[in-house]
Structure 1
Amino acid sequence: MSPKQYRQQRGVALITAILIVALASATAIAMVERQQLDIRRTANLLDNDRGYLFSLGAESWVRGILDTDRKDNKIDALAEDWAIELPPLTVEDGSVLGRVEDMQGRFNINNLVDNEGKISALDVARFKRLLQAFDLSPDLADAALDWIDKDADSTFPGGAEDGEYLGNNIPYRTANALMASPSELLLVKGFTYEAYTQLSPYIAALPERTNINLNTAPPPVLQTIAANIATAEAEAIAESRGEEGLNDVQDFLALPALNGRNVDANGLGVSSQYFMLTTHSQFGSSRGILYSLIKRPASGKITVVIRGQGAY
């Protein structure tokens, strides 16, 4: 082998060695980056699980508070212990904060039908009043009713059954069953996101018919109990009721602010069975929200009916 050939081979060997080192370095860097990503992902999952478990702990605490309240009080009002926002619980690397809301202070969308799945005219009228309180078309109540009633026929001119939805760009059918979440209204004819955003703090989708708790209902819901109650009048009713609440429906209907009002007492009450615990958790870089719908019957076990993360 000539000296020239020898130098050429040495050059090729050097280049090959450099390429091998470069490839090995690139592979090592990629492996380290992937490992770091996996470590961060695992840490986030662990932090998320910690938040979820602490939220379940908050559920247990709230069930205890509700059980004590059930034994001590025959009514439910805003001055009771369950209505006080839970103090922040700070633990290593994280915190949990929660609040409880009486869901029977809201209008239950599933009240639009009775226990046999037929129209509840009284509750349809109440829902129309709630819609009008936000300057929304009362016809939206008819469309919501058709969504949950058992038949496949539009009951009112403003209603909508399968034929209305099957013609959409993305076709679907009506549920013809009780709503599992008030967000189902976004699928109902005429309900825009803006309309839903206005209504969402005042509506619920509970798994059975429920009374409106007059002691916890906010002014827009109080406007539903009779015709032509203005916003200022509803606010006056809420102020007269106070946070301590009243002992029965008749005491509430006797408030001076309701003088001369024709109020149907059916579907009204001063106690509740359904409560929503909203828990916010933060651990490390993970943040979570857990919605827990709790049922507290007049007697027996207090249970969590639904849990949802991110939205109710």
Structure 2
Amino acid sequence: MLARQQGIALVYVLLLFSVITVMASQMIIGLMNQTRHSSHYLERSQARLYALGVEQYLATVLEANAQDDLKKQRRVDALAEAWNLTAVAFELEQGSVEISVQDEQGLLNMNNLAAQNTLAVQSLRIFQNLLVNHSMDPNLAYRVQDWVDSDREVSSQGAEDNTYLLASPAYRTANTTMTSLSELRLIQGWFNQSSHSVMPELSALPDTTRININTAPRDVLLALSNQLSTAQVDDIIQQRQTQGIDSMEALLNIPSLKPQANDLQAAPLTFYSQHFSARIKARFRDTEYEMRSWFQVSDRGEVFITHREVGSPMNPVWSQGVSAL
């Protein structure tokens, strides 16, 4: 009888020990998960602070550049200047940052198509040239214009609400300016073509803008006029390499451009920029933080950060070689 009672007591002790062991294991696992989550949160917070620090550094560089231009009374933004950081890496304590700065005014602003003046006509023509040069349907330009303009009237080969309400799920045109190029995904027929090739030449800025001849990519320069040749574009790129081009007169002084003087004078061009963006990827230990920031430079040379996007960019630049600074 005593032996039986001792056996039952032993079973109870073993059962209690098993329960305590399971509970202790769960507590340890929970504590480990909580510690891991806290560690990841702290690492991400530090990586974010690195990214914000770089953002402030870039704002300082842009402001110094603008103030220097105002002092010299020569407003030019060219690729040879200090602000043009392309795939540059900084090593930091227990981490690093990678930066790539883009002059957004070197690109074609989609919101120009909503302008109520000749800027819309000029920008539409350039957009069509750009689409043709990328083997895309030039009529897509009308659909983008219908997306951003304020009316609900269908332009030539365009599309308004009646088209998009037939989609599944149904939706309407924005009929206001774009806040992000991701809206192009909603344009009928846009992603049925090789649209990825033209995306790097486009922007969506809060204001109507002119194209900076000093920073525009080759494809944008070619689209300024369907009469421009690659040799003429090469001459523009060669001329702007050092000090930049500071006036229409200086641009038209390039001998090969004389035949296209009227087209270039009619194009929406400028020689300096007020809108820039930066892709920033910060790393702290094993955690990465990616961010894109937009900067606006005022007429007085002050720099404001207008908005940010957090996460992987739609068009990654990090696959390019990174040079150490």
> When the two structures are superposed, what TM-score results if normalisation uses the length of structure 2?
0.86
Q: Are residues 248 and 53 of structure 1, via their aligned partners in 2, closer, same or farther at CA, if it must alter by over 3 Å?
A: same
Quote the Cα distance in structure 1 between the aligned partners of 2:193 and 2:48.
31
Please say if residues 279 and 290 of structure 2, whose CA atoms lie closer than 8 Å, have aligned partners that are also in contact: yes
Structure 2: gaps spanning 5 or more residues = 70-74, 315-325
Q: Paired residue for 1:280?
A: 281
The answer to whether 1:223 aligns with 2:222 is yes
Shift of 1:163: 1.9
Whole-Å separation in 2 of the counterparts to 1:7 and 1:152: 93
The residue that corresponds to 1:79 in the other structure is: 80
Q: Which residue of 1 aligns with 2:72?
A: none
- Residue deviations 1:168-187, cap 9 Å, x none? 22222211111001111011
**Structure 1 letter corresponding to 2:52:** L
Corresponding residue for residue 180 of structure 2: 181
Q: Distance in 2 between matches of 1:184 and 1:243?
A: 37
Alignment length (residue pairs): 306
Higher relative contact order (CA 8 A, sep 6+): 2
Partner of 2:57: 61
Which segments of 5 or more consecutive residues in structure 1 lack a partner in the other structure? none
Q: 1:66 to 1:58 in 2, by over 3 A?
A: same
Q: In structure 1, what is the equivalent of residue 322 of structure 2?
A: none
| Alignment match, 2:272 | 271
Query: For the structure 1 residues 134 and 85, does the alpha-carbon distance in structure 2 shift closer, same or farther, using more than 3 Å as the test?
Result: closer
Residue 254 of structure 2 aligns to which amino acid in structure 1? Answer: L
The residue that corresponds to 1:153 in the other structure is: 153
Query: What's the counterpart of residue 108 of structure 2?
Result: 107
Partner of 2:317: none
The 1:269/1:19 distance shift into structure 2, 3 A limit, reads same
Q: How far 1:31 moved relative to its partner?
A: 2.0
Q: C-alpha offsets along residues 39-81 of structure 1, whole Å, 9 cap, x if unaligned?
A: 1111111111112112222122222211221122310000101
| Residue 126 of structure 1: aligned partner | 126
Residues 112-149 of structure 1, C-alpha deviations (whole Å, 9 max, x = no match): 121x4998221111111111111111011111111111
**Deviation (angstroms), 1:20:** 2.8
Q: 1:8 offset after TM fit, Å?
A: 4.5
- Give 1:305 shift: 0.5
Task: State the Cα RMSD in Å.
Answer: 2.3
**Offset at 1:259?**
3.2
Map of 2:38 onto structure 1: 42
> Within 2, Cα distance between the matches of 1:285 and 1:182?
31
Residue by residue over 1:91-131, the C-alpha shift from the partner in whole angstroms, topping out at 9 and shown as x without a partner, is 322112223221101111111121x4998221111111111
Question: 1:198-213 alignment to 2 at 5 Å?
Answer: 198-213=197-212
Q: Spell out, residue by residue over 1:244-272, the C-alpha distance to the aligned partner (whole angstroms, 9 max, x if none).
A: 32121232233234231233434201100
Measure the CA separation in 2 of the matches of 1:76 and 1:227. Answer: 25
More displaced 10-residue stretch of structure 1: 210-219 or 65-74: 65-74
User: Percent identical across equivalent pairs?
Assistant: 30
* Distance in structure 2 (CA, Å) of the matches to 1:309 and 1:209: 25
CA distance in 2, matches of 1:173, 1:118: 27
- Residues 144 and 187, structure 2, Cα contact 8 Å, conserved in 1: yes
Distance 1:96 1:163, change over 3 A: same
Give the C-alpha shift of residue 235 in structure 1: 4.0
Corresponding residue number in structure 2 for 1:308: 309
Mapped partners of 1:240, 1:118: distance in 2? 28
- 1:27 and 2:56 correspond: no
